Amino acid sequence: MIALSGAMTCLAQDSTGRAKADTIRVGGMIIIKNGKDDDGNKKDRNITISNHHKRKSSNISTNWWIVDLGFANVNDKTNYAAAQSGGFITSGVGKDQLNLRTSKSVNVNIWLFMQKLNMIKHAVNLKYGLGLELNNYRFEDERIRFAKNPTTISIDPTLDGADKNKLAADYVTVPLMLNFNFTPGREKGFGFSAGLSAGYLYDARQKIKNNGDKKKLHDDFDLEKWKLSYIGELNLGPVRLYGSLAMKNMWQKGLDQTPYNVGIRFSHW
């Protein structure tokens, strides 16, 4: 700055001999040096530096480690008489026994990242990412027991009053959404997104906790390997909500249950 001040020793003058301010631009920085006022009187030398560079929003923004907390449930349209005759469920197992506990059937999603690609003035964006979708289905009837090879669902009287009985289904999921942002430039704005997701079942298990004894049975239980879903999110300032609805039955045979999830999303945008 000292070298720059010493270099600016000449003032531009108009036809009246009055001094004007010298202005130098260095990138986004503006440097103004004043020597005399409009009446020609000497003034102290003043150097004003301002930065008029306006930060532009990136066309691609990334949000790391997003967490969803919500409820998991199913739309059950199973023909239980046919499921019993096919041997997938045993006598005594029906819709009442396989009803889920709404308050304890939970969905937790952990998105490793999500990216937003600007398409139209940051008001319309493409959103995509990668993460884990974890679903825990808690049954109303604690006596439900799964077996594998082949898959059968039965009633086990020894599980009456069990502390926990749940079916867990975990997926690696890729979401793809079209985002509409009503307040571009604001981190906690208003808008919504809608699209599709594709998930692959990488683990399924029944977990039972009874009288302090914990047991896990790992198998796919004839669940569909691929889960395709309609997905959406709603941005309401600091509050973000999400939802998903599978396109089809989650079972390969026996039961006819379409899963859906709703909850709160914790993310930067």
The per-residue pLDDT for range 233-267, each reduced to its tens digit, is 999 999 999 999 999 999 999 999 999 999 999 99
Tokens 């959103």 belong to: 127
| pLDDT for res 186 | 82
| pLDDT for res 225 | 98
Torsion of CA 88, 93, 96, 102, to 10 degrees: -60
Name the pLDDT band for 34 (thresholds 50, 70, 90): low
Ordered strands of the 42-51 beta sheet: 22-26, 29-36, 42-51
Within 10 angstroms of residue 74's Cβ, the number of other Cβ atoms is 22
The per-residue pLDDT for range 85-127, each reduced to its tens digit, is 999 999 999 999 999 999 999 999 999 999 999 999 999 999 9
- pTM (global) more than 0.75: yes
| Top-confidence residue, 46 or 230 | 230
Q: Give which of 131, 240, 116 is closest to 178, Cα–Cα.
A: 116
The per-residue pLDDT for range 132-190, each reduced to its tens digit, is 999 999 999 999 999 999 999 999 999 998 999 999 999 999 999 999 999 997 878 89
Distance CA 250, CA 230 (A): 14
The average confidence (pLDDT) of the chain is: 87
Taking a C-beta distance cutoff of 8 angstroms, is the pair 84, 92 a contact?
Answer: no
| pLDDT for res 51 | 54
Within 13 Å of residue 263, how many CA atoms lie on the same side as its CB? 24
| pLDDT for res 211 | 87
Question: Does a cis peptide bond (omega within 30 degrees of 0) precede residue 259?
Answer: no
Task: Return the amino acid letter for 38.
Answer: D
Tokens 């004839």 belong to: 222
